[in-house]
Amino acid sequence: SEYGTTSKSLAGYLRIFTAYFKTLLFLEPIILIFSLLGVIILWFKSKKMFFISLFWPIFYISSLYFFFYPEFYKPITYYIILIIPWLAILAGFAIYSLTSKLSNPIKTITILLLLMYPFLTAVSYCNLLSQKDTRILAKEWVEENIPSGTKILSNWSYINPIPTKEAILFQKSLDENSL
C-alpha cells in the first residue's frame, strides 16, 4: 500500500519535521519565533514543563509521518493547524515573560508592534478574499475563449480528488481514456 505502510527512515522522519518547520516559518513566522523563544525560556524555568511542551508537536508530527505519509511525500499544509494553538500558548508565554518587567506604556507599544505583522497579513488576506475567486475567473475565461467540446489538459499532481463512485463515473463520462 502507498500510504502509511511504506518503509520509513530517520532521514524521512527528520525531513517531515524540517518541512513543517519551513511551512510554519512561512505561514506564521511571529508565532513560530516567539514559541521557540518560549521553549527556550521554559528550559531555564522548568525542565518538566519544557519536556511536556515538546510532547504534543513531536507526537502529532510523528503520527502523521508514521501512519499517513509515504516516504517521500510532501507534508500537507492544513495538517499543521493542530500545532498552531500549542505555538500560540508558547508564544504568549514568551511575550509575557519578556514584557512582564516592562512599564505599562512600553509593554503596550511592544505588544502592538509584535501584533502589527499578523494584523497586516490578515488585512491582505481579507483583501484577497474580497476579490473574485480565481476559479470563477478561470471558468469564465475558458467559456469565453475555448470552443465547446475541446478537451483541456490539466496538472492533477497537486489535486486530491475524492474517488467516489459518482466522481469516477462522471470522469468516465467526460473522457474514458482519462482513467
What is the predicted pLDDT for the residue at 162? 57
Cell of 92: 504568549
- Who wins on pLDDT, 110 or 158? 110
Would you say residue 158 has pLDDT above 50?
A: no
* Cα pseudo-dihedral 132, 133, 134, 136, rounded to 10: -90
As a whole number of angstroms, the distance between CA 77 and CA 14 comes to 17
Average pLDDT, the chain: 80
Span 117-132, average pLDDT: 86
What pTM, to 2 d.p., does this model score?
0.63
Return the pLDDT at 160: 47
**N-to-C CA span, the chain:** 20
Q: Which three cell numbers stand for residue 177?
A: 481514456
Q: How far apart are CA 179 and CA 176, in angstroms?
A: 6
Q: Which has more confidence, 179 or 127?
A: 127
